């Protein structure tokens, strides 16, 4: 295990607690897991899995991970490629003959690779996507066949990236046609069981659980809606059927990395992860391979996928160089999954690049609160870094302190509208700092801030 990871993960744990505290009115709960080289380094859960029952979220709760399903579908197709049963640049109609009967004869020429890379030009969800609002059932194959027979390609195939759930539904049907197994059965036999995963499946399973209840954002009138957990995705499962707990998503992605010796040949994995198309007009900008997104985050290139399902927003990514995987699963449609992912990798980058602390700077490492913000002092080299626990990227442009004398430090880096050049003076009780005079402003430790809040409540008549 990399030397920086224990300190980084300890910080991440505290940072996630603050992110939950600042957002729990909007986001009932979330679950996070971190895996490296097949070893689970960290898993946690915050908030509530069900608000009405006051049910605490746990790392064992399952979420609908939606478009993460595309990564499982892509791996399954590449397994069939590995065994010679499918060829990437064959026409998909070779395996799904009904495509030759479409009014738009171009359907007969779209390839397996184009479906995997979202470059086939296929419509995203169909002319009636009300199933995403649970106003109608998710479509089954007869409805998909009828849709495609009457709907022309939206764009000429092999000309641009155009995301398509219908395209991945076709890939799910291709897996069934070639393997002779149902989609969920194939996934269980060829991916889930070989990896020894639990708490994961290709379609809602009432025998599994516990499931986190998904929630909308807040509507006018301060109203929030709970979504049913038992939605079945029909023949759209290849695009959006999967459920999982965070740890199992990480272990699956860990197996997808070249060199793991699992699921696929390394050649197939490299081709799957290789950028095929730029994802135009998408932020953060990135590229799409065969079922996997790749993009830059700080100093790293990350691979993975996000997902959105009624009541769930999710995102999971891995770094090939360090073989670290992070999964963030939430039960709210207004959750900040992208920001949580960005923040975790940002924290990793800070601790990876930080120098070893000099002298006894570690004794000043503590979290402090004012009425304005929460901060944690982190030592690196000869300086203390003043990180913002409430911030999405807590070390971005953070203030830095250098020892002056005794327990007094000089603020040597801060914004011009703040207090550069002024002093930060620590006050201890025993061997723990409990108060900091920071440019004349009071910061109180976690143990002390409660008393200060009580005093303010009394002054306000609360």
> Tens digit of pLDDT for each residue in 67-110?
999 999 999 999 999 999 999 999 999 999 999 999 999 999 99
CA angle 160, 239, 300 (to 5 degrees): 65
> Tens digit of pLDDT for each residue in 1-43?
459 999 999 999 999 999 999 999 899 999 999 999 999 999 9
Once rounded to an integer, what is the mean pLDDT over residues 255-279? Answer: 97
Q: What is the pLDDT of residue 455?
A: 87
> Tens digit of pLDDT for each residue in 275-295?
999 997 777 679 999 999 999
Full-model pTM: 0.95
Residue 82 CB neighbour total at 10 angstroms: 15
Which segment of 191-195, 335-339, 365-369, 448-452 scores lowest on mean pLDDT? 448-452
Tokens linked to 11: 């910080």
> Taking 60 as the threshold, does the pLDDT of residue 416 lie above it?
no
Please state, rounded to an integer, the average pLDDT across all residues of the chain: 94
Once rounded to an integer, what is the mean pLDDT over residues 386-409? Answer: 94
Q: What is the pLDDT of residue 413?
A: 85
Distance between CA atoms of residues 175 and 159, nearest Å: 25
> Tens digit of pLDDT for each residue in 129-182?
999 999 999 999 999 999 999 999 999 999 999 999 999 999 999 999 999 999
Under 8 Å CB-to-CB from 227, ≥6 apart: which residues? 134, 213, 214, 215, 216, 310, 311
Distance between CA atoms of residues 380 and 289, nearest Å: 38
Query: Which DSSP string corresponds to 100-156?
Result: GGSSSGGGGG-BHHHHHTT-S---SS-S--GGGGTSSPPP-HHHHHHHHHH---SS-
Under 8 Å CB-to-CB from 284, ≥6 apart: which residues? 295, 296, 297, 338
Once rounded to an integer, what is the mean pLDDT over residues 367-388? Answer: 94
- Assess contact for 263 and 195: CB atoms under 8 A: yes
């Amino acid at each position: 295990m990399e030397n920086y990871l224990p300190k980084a993960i300890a910080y991440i744990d505290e940072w996630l607690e603050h992110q939950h505290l600042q957002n729990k009115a909007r986001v009932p709960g979330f679950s996070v897991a971190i895996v490296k080289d097949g070893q689970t380094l960290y898993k946690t859960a915050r908030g509530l899995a069900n608000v009405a029952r006051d049910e605490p979220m746990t790392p064992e709760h399952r979420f609908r991970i939606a478009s993460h399903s595309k990564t499982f579908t892509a791996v399954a197709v590449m397994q069939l490629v590995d065994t010679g049963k499918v060829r990437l640049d064959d026409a998909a109609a070779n395996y799904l003959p009904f495509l030759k009967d479409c009014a738009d004869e171009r359907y007969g020429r779209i390839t397996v690779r184009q479906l995997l890379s979202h470059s086939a030009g296929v419509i995203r969800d169909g002319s009636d996507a009300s199933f995403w609002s649970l106003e109608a059932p998710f479509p089954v194959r007869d409805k998909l066949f009828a849709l495609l027979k009457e709907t022309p390609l939206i764009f000429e195939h092999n000309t641009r990236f155009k995301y398509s759930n219908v395209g991945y539904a076709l890939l799910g049907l291709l897996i069934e046609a070639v393997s002779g197994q149902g989609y969920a059965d194939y996934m269980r036999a060829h991916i889930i069981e070989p990896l020894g995963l639990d708490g994961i499946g290709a379609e809602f399973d009432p025998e599994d659980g516990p499931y986190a209840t998904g929630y909308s954002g807040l509507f006018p009138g301060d109203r929030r809606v709970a979504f049913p957990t038992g939605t079945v995705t029909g023949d759209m499962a290849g695009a959006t059927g999967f459920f999982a707990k965070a740890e199992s998503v990480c272990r699956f992605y860990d197996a997808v990395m070249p060199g793991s010796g699992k699921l696929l040949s390394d050649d197939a994995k490299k081709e799957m992860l290789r950028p095929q198309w730029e994802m135009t007009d998408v932020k953060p900008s990135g590229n799409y391979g065969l079922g996997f997104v790749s993009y830059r985050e700080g100093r790293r290139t990350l691979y993975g996928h996000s997902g959105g399902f009624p009541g769930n927003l999710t995102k999971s990514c891995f770094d090939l160089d360090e073989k670290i995987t992070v999964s963030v699963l939430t039960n709210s449609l207004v959750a900040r999954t992208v920001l949580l992912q960005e923040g975790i990798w940002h924290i990793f980058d800070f601790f990876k690049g930080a120098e070893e602390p000099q002298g006894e700077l570690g004794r000043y490492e503590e979290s402090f609160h004012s009425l304005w913000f929460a901060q944690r002092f982190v030592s690196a080299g000869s300086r203390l870094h003043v990180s913002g626990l409430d911030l999405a990227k807590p070390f971005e442009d953070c203030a830095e302190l250098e020892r002056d004398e005794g327990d007094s430090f000089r603020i040597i880096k801060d914004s011009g509208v703040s207090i550069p050049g002024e002093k930060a003076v620590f006050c201890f009780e025993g061997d723990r700092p409990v108060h900091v005079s920071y440019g004349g402003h009071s910061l109180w430790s976690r143990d002390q801030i409660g008393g200060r809040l009580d005093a303010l409540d009394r002054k306000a008549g609360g």
